[in-house]
Amino acid sequence: SSSCIINNGSCSSARPVGHPHGAVQVASDNEDSTSDRFVLASDSLPHSPAASAGDPASSGDAAAPCTVAFRTEHPEGTRLHRLAFAGDVAALARAVRDLGSEEVARLINIQDKHGNTAIHIAIMRGHHACVTLLTGEGASVRIRNRECWSPICEAVSYGDRKTILHIIRLLHRELQELGESRRQDLIRLLKSLPDFYLEIKWDFQTWVPLLSRLLPSDVCRLYKKGARVRMDSTLVDFEDMRWTRGDISFLYNGEEKARNAFVMLDNAARCYQRMRRERNSERDLASEADMLMASDVVFAKLDTARAKFSRQQQGWLWRRHERSEQVGDWSASFYEVRGLRLCVRKRREHLSAEDVRRNKEVMEKFAKGHVAQNLEFEERHSLPPPTPPPEPEDEVALEAAWAAYLAGDSPYLGRKPVLKDSIKTHTCRLAMAEDFPLDVKQFLELLRLLAPFKQFNRLREFLSNQLPPGFPVKIEMPVYPTITAQVSFRHYELRTDLADSLFTIPEGFKHSRRRFPNL
């Protein structure tokens, strides 16, 4: 069915595409969760679902829930959760007032044994007033629970449009603030590096016969001068088995004010769009809500926890030796990476049978060679709420429901989940060069700039893990269960002659607010 990948708590503007699987009810997790401790939340992305051993090519295996890095227990941990569960906004407001700002700041993002924060619970119970109060007190909308779901995921599942719009606004604000906090570090890094030109080649491959001839390739050309960066690409968008070709350029100017720092150029259409600043119009937020409410909720994670690196061998049996060869401008040592897993969780309980049917048709057309183009979404209204929770005045029923939630292994509080878990294990190859002029840590910081390009997010995820010595000048990694990407760093040269005009909007380009709807 249609899908929207929601990563790090944020939601990408994925357009729907079909998926051949029907809705599958997956049992709750069977992990021992008897401890009733409440702990301070980790705002980092949790580990991927753990897979049971089996056929490496299989999919649909039930995955254990995501695990969150819990940190410090807190005796008052249940208080805000319990009030959010009841939906008594007046009592919640009194508790916040009585606790004081310092104590609220300590408690607001605590996770319970299920990984839920108070705002998770308020959303799953349909208590919009409590959601508004908690976010006003600083509750984060980026934290995931043990089942991998962030507040926006739970909001889409419940289907209250007002809550979805509220969380989307906060996500944009949180991500902007996060970007601002990293901005000065990034500018210092850029200024510390010499000016350069770098070529990165992308080849997408699959074993699916009908799909293999359709997959794109791209050569990204990256220019860096002072605190300015430019990247040229022919791949406008590549997400969830869809892509758009074009002639685009991404510009970043660290010397500009934050609202003007990021620009995307469409060189063929001779127009440009500024990023981040223009996304918050009510029209854009409404379109994003429509897209989310018509799409699967998807959590995807490249899991390297069990990955093992070994030197690749070549030659005949009696003359075997470790493989080393030239990759672009560098001599590289080749490694085999086993146990690399791509874990995907999908939810679709908020979709109607018509949604599933329509999006399946899109996928079937895609399989026949019709590449999906931009799709328009009709306005979506709030879904009827699931079984209403007990009223706050019904103390007996409320206490029974709360006790059942605490005792459950993996209880759902809102709409009954309809899940599909897919885990694929891959064996990939990696070429490491020890004389590459950038180190991995520096390049990871540069990749943060390229977050709008979904393929670079997967590359950043891969490079964030422990690698063999050197820099990975050639990487083979999974990007979807049936698709791998081969990334090659072909050419790097120091440049002192880069023109300033490379990093500015060309004369005659017109401003467009909606040329790149995914930005």
Q: How many domains does the chain have?
A: 2
User: The domain containing residue 45 runs over which residues?
Assistant: 3-177+344-421
User: Quick one: 268 and 410 in the same domain?
Assistant: no
> Is 395 a member of any domain?
yes
> Is 311 a member of any domain?
no
The counts of H helices and E strands in the chain are 13, 18
> Is 393 a member of any domain?
yes
* pLDDT, tens digit, 9 for 90 and up, residues 170-222: 998 887 777 677 788 888 899 999 999 999 998 887 776 656 566 767 888 99
Query: Last residue of some domain: 366, 400, 421?
Result: 421
Query: Last residue of some domain: 383, 403, 421?
Result: 421
Torsion, Cα 147 149 153 158, to 10 degrees, reads 40
- Model pTM above 0.75: no
Indicate the average pLDDT of the chain: 78
Dist. CA 164–CA 318, nearest whole Å: 64
pLDDT in the model for residue 519: 57
> Is 326 a member of any domain?
no
Dist. CA 45–CA 451, nearest whole Å: 16
> Is 322 a member of any domain?
no
> Is 286 a member of any domain?
no
User: Quick one: 102 and 30 in the same domain?
Assistant: yes
Please return the burial class of 109, using the count of CB atoms within 10 Å of its CB with bins 0-12, 13-18 and 19+: buried
User: Quick one: 151 and 228 in the same domain?
Assistant: no
Contact by Cβ (8 Å): 208, 195: no
> Is 507 a member of any domain?
yes
The answer for 240, left when phi > 0, alpha when psi is -120 to 50, beta otherwise, is left
User: Quick one: 85 and 192 in the same domain?
Assistant: no
User: Quick one: 167 and 22 in the same domain?
Assistant: yes
Dist. CA 222–CA 67, nearest whole Å: 37
Dist. CA 453–CA 479, nearest whole Å: 13
Q: The domain spanning residue 56 has which CATH number?
A: 1.25.40.20
Give the mean model confidence (pLDDT) for residues 143-151: 93
Q: The domain spanning residue 491 has which CATH number?
A: 2.50.20
DSSP state of 196: E
Give the mean model confidence (pLDDT) for residues 31-57: 30
pLDDT in the model for residue 36: 31
Dist. CA 444–CA 373, nearest whole Å: 31
User: Quick one: 117 and 246 in the same domain?
Assistant: no
> Is 310 a member of any domain?
no
pLDDT at 368 over 60: no
User: Quick one: 30 and 169 in the same domain?
Assistant: yes
pLDDT at 42 over 80: no
* pLDDT, tens digit, 9 for 90 and up, residues 73-109: 454 578 899 999 999 999 999 999 999 999 999 999 9
Query: Last residue of some domain: 421, 449, 464?
Result: 421
User: Quick one: 15 and 137 in the same domain?
Assistant: yes
Dist. CA 78–CA 89, nearest whole Å: 16
Q: Using alpha carbons, select from 517, 476, 420, 495 the residue that is nearest to residue 62.
A: 420
